[in-house]
Structure 1
């Protein structure tokens, strides 16, 4: 299921930022980079999210916000973010409903796959990539920043 060129499915999820985050609230203001990842504290995720967080200024300069999404609770998200210095908001999709909307839920394992969606300011999906295996991490922040530059 590809969402490319389609309006991004809207959602509201609890966030480590304190207030719930609604995707459509960014419409007209920011591009959004949705980073779905399987589990807090897992080895590859503990490399991926700090890497995206570390490039937050570059994303902001490109007019984008980065949002991490997975099934862990806000408590787990907060502990993980504190331990790994992750400053991007982490959203709790505990029942995987949002992961299902984006076609990345792995229901038999109770997790989401590793995937990146770039949503433009109009709310349209302009780039999507789902890793073949949850342990893969091929789409790095630099590649997504390149896609953002193409949006202009």
Structure 2
């Protein structure tokens, strides 16, 4: 067994694969389960940490583009290994209008299933996934951790899903 496999590392799911199921805290007393969003495209935005400059810029951009995402009936979820209270403070400060999910305990378990965990830092990668209405990976992108990937790829993937015969 390789060291990566021993550490619980998973490969990033491929386009067409079923999206790995999860249930994560969105608030101290509320949970989000991926399968409950079935019937809607879902955008998962994995990011390293609340309060970091690039993450703040990326999530602020997604917040601004949220009406465009919703035009495609898409649900946006931010995911990092920060705790639910940290997410609550960050979302309030940044006036975010989408849930931040706490992949806190066991730390990074969902990030690992999506191949989006940085083992050396103990944080999530900066990775984007678009999941189709049937729960399959439709598109994904792994960005260098220090670069805001923007929203163009997500919007292109959502536009592709909205064409007849797709999804």
**TM-score of the superposed pair, with normalisation by structure 2:** 0.85
**What CA deviation, in whole Å up to 9, does each residue of 1:27-84 have, x standing for no partner?**
12x1000000000000000100111112212111101010000000111111111111
Runs of 5+ unmatched residues, structure 1 = none
Higher-Rg member (1/2) = 2
Residue equivalent to 1:108: 120
1:111-146 deviation per Cα after TM superposition (whole angstroms, max 9, x unaligned):
010000000000000100011x311222x2233112
CA–CA distance in structure 2, aligned partners of residues 128 and 147 of structure 1: 9
Residue equivalent to 1:11: 22
CA distance in 2, matches of 1:124, 1:75: 30
Deviations 1:87-119, CA, capped at 9 Å, x for gaps: 110000011000000001112211010000000
- The alignment yields a C-alpha RMSD, in angstroms, of 1.3
1:146 corresponds to: 156
Aligned length: 149
Q: Aligned partners of 2:75 and 2:31: how far apart in 1? A: 15
Gaps of 5+ in 2: 1-10, 163-167
- Partners of 1:17 and 1:89 within 8 A in 2: no
